[in-house]
Structure 1
Amino acid sequence: MVTICNFKNDILASQQKQLAALVERFTDRDGFQTTAIPSLDFIRASNPSEPLHTLYTPSLCVIVQGAKMVILGKESYKYDANSYLVASVHLPIIGHIMEATPESPYLGIRLGFGSDQILDIIKASQQELRSKPGLGRGLTVTRANTTLLDALLRLARLLETPNEIPILAPLIIKEILYRVLQDEPGYIIKPFAVIGSHAQSIAKVITLINNDFAKPLRIDVLAKEINLSPSSLHHHFKKVTAMSPLQYQKQIRLQEARRLLLAETLSAADAGYRVGYESPSQFSREYARMFGLPPLLDIKRLKDSIYIHF
């Protein structure tokens, strides 16, 4: 048994090394970089980062070198090359790259996916479709395995043969998602794709909030939209996101305001108004509470540093 475990660990280490080499080859700088494969992105960081606010979209995140801490609400998730993270819905998080040096940079892979892709895989197995997995967090960290990394390695290698990407990439991505669904995260991901489940209803509310985050939040209207009572909506929403709908909207608003201030020449008052704040003082106060500094000082600090998110 010990020999078998050592053999698997050796294979895992070899796969991680090969993936790290591919990520380094196709990233020419620190930061978040898209690839020629739709929905596949790489990230590189030569130094640890400060805690950074960002929005996770439904995705599989794999670290092949280094380590990272992710904070959702009041919960912390640490993962490294021996584990992987799955986000099932849009989630505002704080990410902190913990292990990275110029000689051994942090290297990560992100594969985005949609509920339609998950549902297609679920429908391929009537037994899985009939199952009723419970409602859980929209984010989970699980131990990496050689089967998943093998599929990821084959996908990343397609970057060396771009003419094969249109044909083979969709097939390998489907295999990767199938492997994830067969692993522990599958129990959490599946309900978000099944129409009529509580998880799918919460995913709909999350989409509605993201689409209209600048408007006042009406819990009664959202609850009616998914045929739940306001108290049930609040309970299920917090179970998925680790925060209330109002807290979620506030984080989305402030993250968007920060993005606007970084990308456009806006005053703090204008940015606050754009994301739904009528009171500039309230906006500045809540912004400073979340990011640690008032808007303009925070933006100056960010522009003077490397802003990396993954």
Structure 2
Amino acid sequence: MNARHTIRNPGKAAATDTLAEAIGRIAQNDGDYFTEISGLTLHRRSASAAPMPCIYGFGLGVVAQGGKRVMLGDEVFNYAAGQSLLTTIDVPVVSNVTVATPAAPFLGLMLALDPRIVMELAAEMEGMQPRKESPDPAISVSDLESPVLDALIRLVRLLDEPELIPHVAALIQQEIAIRLLAGAYGPLLRKFAATGSPSEQIARAVTWLKLNFAQPLHVDELAANAHMSPSTFRQHFRAITGTSPLQYQKQLRLQEARQLMLSQNLDAGTASLRVGYESASQFSREYARLFGAPPLRDIQRMRVDVLAGLPVLG
């Protein structure tokens, strides 16, 4: 899919421009903007950026202007103005803005979805039985459908009425979830919400890994809890997350260590022990392999970027 995607529908193009304008009014400088609406962040970049490893959670990424690339394992997802990217479980990805200039900056948003609400809505909208079909990757790209785009515009514009946010934001977010279930993303969302399906079982395993990444990993136990053989579990896990359970745990550990060093000023040795590493040298090697520099140099660079007011993520 080409990141320089052209919106053929004039009405949709105008709505996408309206969303970009609404984002740009708030995100007037490069950076990531955490808003008063729970789960909604706005993003602006004036130039393309180098690929950066990060964790994408259950939610919807939207490009209103510019283009972005996300890599999940060996798969590459490009999306541009008028398109969105749905992530159904937390997955380690490599992402970066690919289309942005000072005159036409990248403008986008991320909207976290509540799995519990999505599951409840899916059950109400369609009687769901456990499914045994092969799982799909946790990431999918699609054109924004007009009703979803309209709801996103209303959600961002609600930031101009802070007194109404506690009363209206949740209603619009629920509407977005309903429209996603009713639209192109519906089959994928229902698959992950279907109790007993391979996708749902892997999602449960991912949740456990997120909460227990510092503990030793026993894949056979995870497979047994998912009612799968170890080989089947590994196959489904890779199909959904783009990586193996061991590599998934490793990325969770390294991402958490990076945050600890940046936010709590921990040294590399302390951070590595905190996230479950027994060998400081192994931690440094794997950290440099993922982030492109040893821990000390990487954190120093990030702090310089923060002081300069530059975004530290891709």
Using structure 1 for the length normalisation, give the TM-score.
0.91
Between 297-306 and 270-279, report the one with greater CA deviation: 297-306
Residues matched between the structures, number = 304
Other-structure match for 2:270: 270
Other-structure match for 1:293: 293
Question: What are the superposed Cα offsets for residues 179-210 of structure 1, whole Å, 9 maximum, x if unpaired?
Answer: 22223322222122222222111111101111
For residues 49 and 235 of structure 2, what CA distance do their matches in structure 1 show? Answer: 34
> Equivalent residue of 1:60, what SS?
strand
Mapping for residues 116-127 of structure 1, pairs under 5 Å: 116-127=116-127
Q: Structure 1: which amino acid aligns with 2:311?
A: Y
Between 209-218 and 42-51, report the one with greater CA deviation: 42-51
Structure 1 gap segments, 5+ residues each: 1-5
For residues 267 and 284 of structure 1, what CA distance do their matches in structure 2 show? Answer: 12
- Give, in angstroms, the shift of residue 131 of structure 1: 8.2
For residues 135 and 182 of structure 1, what CA distance do their matches in structure 2 show? Answer: 20
For residues 254 and 235 of structure 1, what CA distance do their matches in structure 2 show? Answer: 24
Question: What are the superposed Cα offsets for residues 136-155 of structure 1, whole Å, 9 maximum, x if unpaired?
Answer: 11111112222221111122
Other-structure match for 1:220: 220
- Give, in angstroms, the shift of residue 7 of structure 1: 10
Question: What are the superposed Cα offsets for residues 96-137 of structure 1, whole Å, 9 maximum, x if unpaired?
Answer: 11112222221111111122111122122235x258465211
- Give, in angstroms, the shift of residue 8 of structure 1: 6.7
Other-structure match for 2:54: 54
Q: Is the 8 A contact 1:35 1:42 kept in 2?
A: yes
Runs of 4+ in 1 over 6 A off after TM superposition: none
For residues 296 and 307 of structure 1, what CA distance do their matches in structure 2 show? Answer: 19
**1:167 pairs with 2:167:** yes
**1:242 pairs with 2:242:** yes
Other-structure match for 1:307: 311
Q: Structure 1: which amino acid aligns with 2:67?
A: A
For residues 254 and 192 of structure 1, what CA distance do their matches in structure 2 show? Answer: 27
Q: Is the 8 A contact 1:79 1:141 kept in 2?
A: yes
- Give, in angstroms, the shift of residue 244 of structure 1: 0.7
Q: Is the 8 A contact 1:31 1:309 kept in 2?
A: no
Question: What are the superposed Cα offsets for residues 163-190 of structure 1, whole Å, 9 maximum, x if unpaired?
Answer: 3323332222122112222233222221
Other-structure match for 1:78: 78
Identity between Structure 1 and Structure 2 (%): 38
For residues 168 and 73 of structure 1, what CA distance do their matches in structure 2 show? Answer: 38
Other-structure match for 1:3: none
The alpha-carbon distance between structure 1 residues 89 and 39, as it changes in their structure 2 partners (threshold 3 A), is same
For residues 205 and 184 of structure 1, what CA distance do their matches in structure 2 show? Answer: 26
The alpha-carbon distance between structure 1 residues 8 and 291, as it changes in their structure 2 partners (threshold 3 A), is closer
Mapping for residues 21-40 of structure 1, pairs under 5 Å: 21-40=21-40
Q: Is the 8 A contact 2:213 2:276 kept in 1?
A: yes
Between 83-92 and 108-117, report the one with greater CA deviation: 108-117
- Give, in angstroms, the shift of residue 47 of structure 1: 2.0
For residues 218 and 82 of structure 1, what CA distance do their matches in structure 2 show? Answer: 42
Q: Structure 2: which amino acid aligns with 1:113?
A: L
Structure 2 gap segments, 5+ residues each: 1-5
For residues 35 and 266 of structure 2, what CA distance do their matches in structure 1 show? Answer: 32
For residues 125 and 291 of structure 1, what CA distance do their matches in structure 2 show? Answer: 43
